Amino acid sequence: MSSSSREHNHGPQTREYTSAQAAAVNRVKKCKVTDYYAVLDIESSATETEIRKAYRKLALIMHPDKNGAPGADEAFKMVSKAFQVLSDPQKKRIFDQTGMDPESRGVPSGGGGGGPSMFTRAPGGGAAGMHEMPFGPDTTPYDLFNMFFGGAGGPQHGTFQTQFGPGIRVHFNGPGNPFQQARRQAAPQEEENVFSILRLLPLLLLFIAPLLSSFFSGSGGNYMSANAHFEFTPQAPYTSQHHTPHHNVPYYVNPAEVEDYTPRKFNQLGKRAEVSYIQTLRTLCTREYQYKQQKILDSQGWFSVDQEAYDKAKSLKLQHCDKLNELGISHDMF
């Protein structure tokens, strides 16, 4: 076990790192900064899925919060840059043609309309539920990491807790949404939109008033949100079992909360439960995969491999990833 000092906002700090982490950093730093395929340790014929998997693995290893080895910051930035180029079809095409950084001055555009780079959506839902997310020259390696692992639809600040069966309880604090800054930057445009809506308010009231009247009179039950609480294991008072509409996942509600629910509202509630169930499975699958990869990495020393530790790490089960497979949902972990 070695250690390294790095400067932070609060002064120098000493952090530990493994020999395997140091070796991984050294491998990346030995690469030419624009040899993006070598940085990600993939062939030039690698598919989009292989590029994403390579970034996922290396970003987790190189992230300075997890790796205190000297040069981890630089290696992390090199990995992020390589992924930004190779995950964008236009930038990748320019790089393949010129061997140069597509964003450097003097590099031909290679045609096309430009614009911000985009993640491509993987078949079956993309990388762990990641939707298309834009990133441009102002995107930092840490922004990219948060986009990739947090996701635009990921959990917000706060605490989430649920259960998936006997002995399986989930409780975690969610990261912030990486797009909050973009929304703040769009505030002036939003103010303009508010004034436009206010000018149309009298006309909108003509349409909204009948709906409000129906809602409060009790005859508009279908307009009410299906916001009843649900659990995934039966426990009083959540004893009434129902199933989600697409994947038939059982969930439980308080009968008193749903006694006036119509079939339409039960369908809405089932969809809510299903989204919650799948999102949490994806989060747990990602954590299982990260833990397993770290254990495999820890078993590999400078000159030899701890075979017993390696075999034990390789045999670790990814039960939540397996559950996603059973449901036919892509998670892009292996």
232-266 per-position pLDDT tens digit: 999 999 999 999 999 999 999 999 999 999 999 99
> How much is the pLDDT for 138?
61
The number of distinct structural domains making up the chain is 3
Are 120 and 16 found together in one domain?
Answer: yes
Q: Do 101 and 37 contact (CB within 8 A), yes or no?
A: no
> How much is the pLDDT for 204?
66
Are 141 and 244 found together in one domain?
Answer: no
pLDDT band at 116 (very low <50, low <70, confident <90, very high): very low
DSSP 304: -
Are 114 and 210 found together in one domain?
Answer: no
Give the whole-number percent of the chain exceeding pLDDT 90.
Answer: 31
Are 211 and 239 found together in one domain?
Answer: no
Domain range for 204: 186-216
Q: What is the number of residues in the chain?
A: 334
What is the average per-residue pLDDT within 283-303?
A: 87
> How much is the pLDDT for 275?
92
pLDDT(29) > 50:
yes
Q: Bridge partners of 76? A: none
Are 265 and 124 found together in one domain?
Answer: no
Which has more pLDDT, 71 or 182? 71
Tell me, yes or no, whether 90 lies in a domain: yes
Q: Which residue has 């910051």 as its token pair? A: 73
Q: How far apart are CA 169 and CA 280, in angstroms?
A: 11
Q: Which residue has 């994403």 as its token pair? A: 52
> How much is the pLDDT for 106?
61
